[in-house]
Amino acid sequence: MNRLSIERQAQVIKVLCEGNSIRSTARITNTAINTVVSLLKNVGSACAKYQDIHLRNLPCKAIQCDEIWSFCYAKQKNVPE
């Protein structure tokens, strides 16, 4: 199995963090879509573990969260009658 170099992985993650879609990230970095998805899953799991360990009992006075949402199955044909 082929592996991306650390530099190439960093490039893919950087492009994703800039807000590009998976498909555009694959095109920009000349990487297969399945490879981008696999890397995204691995990095996401690592980030979740890091946050679970290090972001505990924080003395926060205010927390700001940006919302990310989308419409799923929102086409007229999917709306119940």
Residue 67 pLDDT: 74
The dihedral sign for the CA sequence 46, 48, 53, 54: positive
The token pair at 44 is 């996401």
Residue 11, pLDDT above cutoff 90: yes
pTM, two decimals, is: 0.70
Residue 36, pLDDT above cutoff 90: yes
* Segment 23-44 mean pLDDT: 96
Residue 73, pLDDT above cutoff 70: no
Q: Write out the DSSP string of the chain.
A: -----HHHHHHHHHHHHTT--HHHHHHHHT--HHHHHHHHHHHHHHHHHHHHHHS-S---S----------SS-SGGGS--
Residue 63, pLDDT above cutoff 90: no
Mean pLDDT score across all residues of the chain = 88
Query: What single letter denotes the amino acid at residue 20?
Result: N
